[in-house]
Structure 1
Amino acid sequence: MRTALSILYRTAEILGAVSLAAIAVLIVTQVASRLFDRMVPGADELAGYCMAASFFLMLGPALRRGAHIRVGVLVDRLRGGPRRALELLCLGFATALSTYFAWYWVRMTYDSYDFGDLSQGVLPIPLWIPQALMAAGLVVLVVALIDDLLAVLQGRDASYQHAGMQSEG
């Protein structure tokens, strides 16, 4: 199971990195095309979709690496049972909220696919494509939160506690 989860997190990370690289390619192409009095149709729109995809796809891996900004003013000062209880409360709330968002985002993506929604920009891009990448990122975040929630319930530390990055507390 751990191997499958590691592959999931790594895949999301790679797709997020590819999205960032696509933004760079789009920007460089747009700048270079201006030298020849040309434009790349829809480059701004595509770069925006890639930015959203990279952000959402990196949510789960960032949690696992401890890269999310966490304010540990209270949690970092607690030890033992009280810390574990507060950590469980925070992870439970984050899991519930993220699951809610992921569920409705997946439903919205399906509706966009079902209705054939297209973007209103220069390029008529089916909206379900960028929405699906964002939904996938939210689902990976939910899986990462459940992974950490189960770890803390079993008495182990959450992944972000040993990831090297400290909270802002």
Structure 2
Amino acid sequence: MRRFLDSLYLAAGGLAAVFMVGVLVAVVMSVATRQLGLHIGGLDAYAGYSMAAAGFLALAHTFKSGEHIRVTLVLSALPSRASMRLDIFALLVACAITANLCWFSAKLALDSYSYNDISTGDDATPLWIPQIAMAVGTLIFFIAVLDETIRRMRGIPEARLTEEAHYE
């Protein structure tokens, strides 16, 4: 299971990187076609969709890599038992928040699909298509936060911390 979850987070991070390249391609094409006097409708919208997809799909990988901003000043000042309890409490709150985000992201995509909601830009893209990346990204992020919460409740230290101790 551990190998599967780590592969899932890595795959989501890789897909986020692909969408970042998509942002680059869309922006460069937009600039180049403007210089040539051409207009390709929707390039700005596709750059935006790709940027949103990259951001949401990168959440889990970034979290599991220990790259999300955390205030560890209080945790490090507390005794180890109190620090662990506060950390678990914070992760439980994060589980509630990410579950909510996941639920409403999926609901938004389903609602957009059922109402045939389309973009108001030149592209007229059905909005559920770019919203899928947001729903999938938040689902994987919720899984990552839940995974970390369970690990911490079992007394397993943060993966990033064990890697840092290994390299010191």
Provide the rounded CA distance (Å) in 2 between the counterparts of 1:162 and 1:78.
19
Deviation at 1:161, TM superposition (A): 3.3
Q: Letter of the aligned partner of 1:109 in structure 2?
A: A
Provide the rounded CA distance (Å) in 2 between the counterparts of 1:125 and 1:76.
48
Deviation at 1:28, TM superposition (A): 1.2
User: 1:81 — aligned with what?
Assistant: 81
Structure 1 segment 1-169 matched on structure 2, within 5 A: 1-162=1-162
The structure carrying a bigger helix percent of its residues is: 2
Provide the rounded CA distance (Å) in 1 between the counterparts of 2:150 and 2:29.
46
Q: TM-score under structure 1 normalisation?
A: 0.92
Provide the rounded CA distance (Å) in 2 between the counterparts of 1:107 and 1:34.
37
Deviation at 1:31, TM superposition (A): 1.7
Deviation at 1:100, TM superposition (A): 0.9
The higher-RCO structure (CA 8 Å, 6+ apart) is 1
Provide the rounded CA distance (Å) in 1 between the counterparts of 2:51 and 2:113.
21
Provide the rounded CA distance (Å) in 2 between the counterparts of 1:97 and 1:104.
11
Q: CA RMSD in A?
A: 1.3
Provide the rounded CA distance (Å) in 2 between the counterparts of 1:48 and 1:81.
44
Q: Deviations over 1:34-84 (max 9, x none)?
A: 232112211111111111111111011000111111111201222321011
Aligned residues: 164
